[in-house]
Every structure is written in C-alpha cells, then in structure tokens.
Chains A and B, each alone.
Chain A
Amino acid sequence: MNLTLKVWRQKNPDDHGRIETYEAKDIPEECSFLEMLDIVNERIITEGGDPIHFDHDCREGICGTCSLTINGIPHSKERGITACQVHMRKFRDGDTIWIEPFRARAFPIVRDLVVDRTAFDRIIAAGGYISVRTGSAQDANALPVSKDDADASFDAAACIGCGACVAACKNASAMLFVGAKASHLNHLPQGQPEKDRRVLAMVRQMDAEGFGNCTNQYECEAVCPKSISADVIAKLNRDYAIAVAKEATTAS
C-alpha cells in the first residue's frame, strides 16, 4: 500500500519544528505501524537523510514507550492498544497519516517524535510507592482483600505510564495517570498507612510539573491503551479531599 505521511520533525528541544511530508510506497499490509516507520527510515538513511526519531521498546504493547499521536489521537483511533500494536491493515491505500509527538508542556520534545516523560517518574518518586518491608511472599489469603478492591486495584495497576492520557487531554492533565498510580495502592491494605501522604505528594508534584487540570471530558480513558477508567480520577479527587481535610484539622 502507498501512503502519505505528515510527520513532525524537530531537530532539538529549541527548534521550532515543522510538519514534513514523506511518501511511503509499497508498505506491506501485514507490518505494524512502527515497522512501517522502520521501512521509511531505511529509505531515508539510504538516501543520506536524517531518519525520523521515535521511541519504542518492547513492541508488544506492555512497556508504554511508544508515544505517537496518529491522526490526532494518541496511539491511533484503535481502542485499548498502544501505537506499536497498530497494524497497517487498519489503514487504506492512499491514506494520508499525520504522525505527531505526545504534546504537553510537561512532556518537552527531545527530537522529532521523542518526548521527555520523566515528569511521570518524579510523580511516582513523590509518593507512588509503599515503604514497608514486604519480606517473602505471604501465604495466600493471609491478608484479606475484598474482590472489589482487588479488581479495582488490579485495573489501575494495568497503567503502563505511556502518557497517552496527557497527550489526549485538552488540558494536558495527568489525572488519569496519577489516579491510576494512586488508586492502585490506595485500594490495598499495604497502601493504607501512607495513603493521605501519597495522594497529597503526588497531586502536588503533578501540579508542580505543569500538567493541566482535569475538566472531566474523559478523552484520557478513550485513548488509554489499558482502558483504565476515569473512576480512578474520581477516587483521586475523593482521596485528595479527605487528605486535605485531615491535614488541615491535624496540622499544628
């Protein structure tokens, strides 16, 4: 199949960047989106050009490294998958495909389609962990967890931290990511002792990183490759309100 690619090219973080057009000819339908980019890059290199830089790692939808906005939708319009899992058979011969980086002030562009997502790491470092010695594996059911909590925690823990939620949000808000990471731990007994501290620290770090604010439009859950529900945002709002109230009343 023959395609026209409109790709964001940007030499470095200070460059203004621009859309450049590439003709991608004779692309096999069976190849994945990233393989298609590999083919295009091979040709660019053969012609002595500068290949299109993009992030990728596992290419099997579990690492959260690929970060392409395809036709204005992070990870493309296909629901519940990452960009690396998109296959060219989902497009039609002659299509024009727009490929842009995940856009957010908190995700500065490193080069072309590569963005710096270390803001997420700093949010995790602020509170997305438990600091207890867990020792060796416990006997099953030694620590009772209700089915609802186990399910909710597991669903939230599916977050691979790719940042598509931020990229899709009209306000570049990181609420789905922070909500997922906080409720993953806040639903479980091991997460209880540090719950309030965790929520306050993660939300404050999120604000400090320059992410926007949630306006409850749920674009994030629509593009999330792990289909994480905006329920985690409601829980984050609730946990935050409780933590703030406790902080205000117990502060001395």
Chain B
Amino acid sequence: MIKGNYKMNPLGKAILQFWRSSIGRKIVVALTGVLLVLFLFGHVAGNLLIFQGREAMNSYAQFLHEMLHGQGVWIARIGLLVAFVLHIWATISLTRENKEARNARYACDNTVQASRSSRIMIWSGLTVLAFVIFHIFHFTIRVDPDLANLPDTAYAAENPGESRHDVYAMVIKGFQNPLVVLFYIVGITLLCSHLSHGVASLFQTLGLRSRKTSGFETKLSWAVAIALWIGFLSIPFAVMVGALKNKPGGGHAEVAPPSGAPVAIADIHEG
C-alpha cells in the first residue's frame, strides 16, 4: 500500500471516479451488455448448425477450437469473462445502492408502467449466472464422462491419425435428461426476460433513446428476446420430440461431405 502524498495519475483517477458514479457503472453495464448480446447471437447461430447434421456441427466446433492456432477461443473466453464479471459486479453494486436508497417500502405499493421483467432483473440475472455455470460444466468442461468421451468416428475414419470431439452426439445425449432440459428452459426463459428489458434499457443508458424512438427500442428488445428463445430452445425441444437423434456408431450418412444440408435431412429422416 502506497502512503503519503502519492498522487494517482489523472486517467486512473478519472476511470475510478467513472466507476464509482451511478451513470458510469450503468454505462459499463450497457456496453458489456451489448457484447454479451452479440455473443449470444454468435452462439445461437453456431448452435443451429446442429440441424445441418453431425458434420456441420462438429466442423464448426473444430473451427472454433483451431482458429488463430487455438488461441482464438481463449481470446473470446477471456473477453467474455471480463465482460460478464464487469456486468455482474456493476449491477450487484448498483442494486445494493438502490435497495439502500429506497430503505422504507410503501405500505400500499403500486406500479404504474414498469414491466415485470424490469422488476426482476437482478433475479433473472443471477439465475442466468447459475445457469451459465451449469452450462459450462455440462458442455464445455464436460464433467459427465458420458459426454466427455465422444470421438467423432466418421471424422477419424476419413482423417486417419486425427480425432475430434463429437459435439453433435454430446448435445443430443446431454438433452436426454428431462431435468437438464427443464433447467435449460428456465435459464433461457429468464435470460430472454432479462433481455426484453435490458436491450431497450441499454439504448437509454447510452443516451440513444428518445420518445420518438422508444417504440422501436421496445420492439427490438422483444424481437431479440423471442428470437434467442426460439433459437436456443429449438434444440432441446427437437431432441425431446425425437427430431434430432444420435445414431450409434457415428453414423454412415455423414461420410458424404462437403455438402452438409442433404446429410442433415438424411440424418433426421433415417433416425
């Protein structure tokens, strides 16, 4: 600890003051929110490749792990982690200040126009945090050995001496447990509730909203929430109803690249 007449450099002081101010932290929440929403769109687009079949899905996963000589995925992970931590840190500290600022409740409490989603932001956010931790253990770290040891046999047969993880099989196996699917439904639903307020909210915090544009921002917010809800949950639903199936032995139909689409159709129909 430096004591005495130590003076902080002006930029550092400005950043600290910005972080301590109410609007400063809110701007951090908005900007990290933009990043996280963009990530979600990338994530859902990648996920939907599962409907194109095993080859498309696994190649995409392999690409993610091999881009920039394997460093790309870590750059993305570290960036996301920083955004995620800042987003949560700022919102928790803001929420605590807010609870203190409204220290006495009304005996007759009333709400005029604040949406339900906007009033449960901290709870939907914390549930999403719990969901993300579960999701990382489930599909990224793969603590369940049944999901961890899934070599893509078709790929190995085509490329002797090489191996890759069979993400396609892992996702389908991972969604066999109805309790897991239920947690995904709850997590994604609350995420979308969070976004239905959050997306419109970030425009206001960044000073980009006005009465003239508020209709657009509200609609955009809902469009984002609904699109992501359908996109993410279509996969566990498809697995539950049997539209997506993992045939044992890695499947033979997939050994027909480069075109992925016909493979997917064949895959689903034969299943």
Residue of B nearest to A212 (CB): B101
Q: Do residues A100 and B107 form an inter-chain contact, with CB atoms below 8 A?
A: yes
Min CB–CB distance B16 → chain A (angstroms): 11
CA distance A100 to B108 in the complex (A): 8
B119 at the interface (CB under 8 A from A): yes
Q: Do residues B107 and A6 form an inter-chain contact, with CB atoms below 8 A?
A: yes
How many residues of B are in contact with the other chain, CB < 8 A?
A: 49
Residues of A within 8 A of B114 (CB): 170, 217-219
CA distance A251 to B24 in the complex (A): 18
At the interface with chain A, which of B128-136, B203-211, B260-268? Answer: B203-211
| A173/B101 contact (C-beta < 8 A), A217-B115, A251-B14, A252-B10 known | yes
Q: Do residues B210 and A248 form an inter-chain contact, with CB atoms below 8 A?
A: no
A238 at the interface (CB under 8 A from B): yes
Q: Do residues A8 and B111 form an inter-chain contact, with CB atoms below 8 A?
A: no
Min CB–CB distance B215 → chain A (angstroms): 13
Residue of A nearest to B90 (CB): A213
Name A's interface SS.
Answer: mixed
Residues of A within 8 A of B207 (CB): 234-239, 241
Q: Do residues A223 and B211 form an inter-chain contact, with CB atoms below 8 A?
A: no
Can you name 10 extra interface pairs (CB under 8 A) apart from A98-B106, A103-B106, A213-B26?
A8-B107, A69-B106, A98-B108, A171-B97, A214-B204, A223-B112, A231-B209, A234-B209, A237-B204, A241-B23
Q: Do residues B108 and A171 form an inter-chain contact, with CB atoms below 8 A?
A: no
How many residues of A are in contact with the other chain, CB < 8 A?
A: 53
Name B's interface SS.
Answer: helix
A120 at the interface (CB under 8 A from B): no
Residues of B within 8 A of A169 (CB): 102
CA distance A172 to B97 in the complex (A): 10
At the interface with chain B, which of A26-34, A50-58, A203-211? Answer: A203-211
A244 at the interface (CB under 8 A from B): yes
B15 at the interface (CB under 8 A from A): yes
Residue of B nearest to A248 (CB): B14
| A237/B23 contact (C-beta < 8 A), A71-B110, A215-B121, A216-B200 known | yes
Min CB–CB distance A154 → chain B (angstroms): 15
Residue of A nearest to B209 (CB): A234
Residue of B nearest to A231 (CB): B210
B105 at the interface (CB under 8 A from A): yes
Q: Do residues A212 and B97 form an inter-chain contact, with CB atoms below 8 A?
A: yes
Residues of A within 8 A of B41 (CB): none
Inter-chain residue pair count (beta carbon < 8 A): 151
Min CB–CB distance A187 → chain B (angstroms): 13
Most B-side CB within 10 Å, residue of A69, A98, A106, A213: A213
CA distance A3 to B129 in the complex (A): 49
Q: Do residues B22 and A234 form an inter-chain contact, with CB atoms below 8 A?
A: no
Min CB–CB distance B203 → chain A (angstroms): 8
B113 at the interface (CB under 8 A from A): yes
Can you list 14 A-B pairs, Cβ within 8 angstroms, ordered by A? A71-B110, A72-B108, A170-B119, A172-B101, A204-B21, A207-B21, A212-B98, A212-B100, A215-B121, A234-B208, A237-B26, A237-B27, A247-B14, A252-B10
CA distance A58 to B56 in the complex (A): 73
Q: Do residues A104 and B204 form an inter-chain contact, with CB atoms below 8 A?
A: no
CA distance A199 to B241 in the complex (A): 57
Min CB–CB distance B251 → chain A (angstroms): 49
Q: Mark B210-221, 1 if CB is under 8 A from A, else 0.
A: 110000000000
Contact of A170 among B15, B22, B25, B102 (CB under 8 A): B102
Min CB–CB distance A152 → chain B (angstroms): 10
Residues of A within 8 A of B158 (CB): none
CA distance A133 to B113 in the complex (A): 43
Residues of B within 8 A of A214 (CB): 22, 26, 204-205
A19 at the interface (CB under 8 A from B): yes
Q: Mark A72-109, 1 if CB is under 8 A from B, else 0.
A: 11000100000000000000000000101001111000
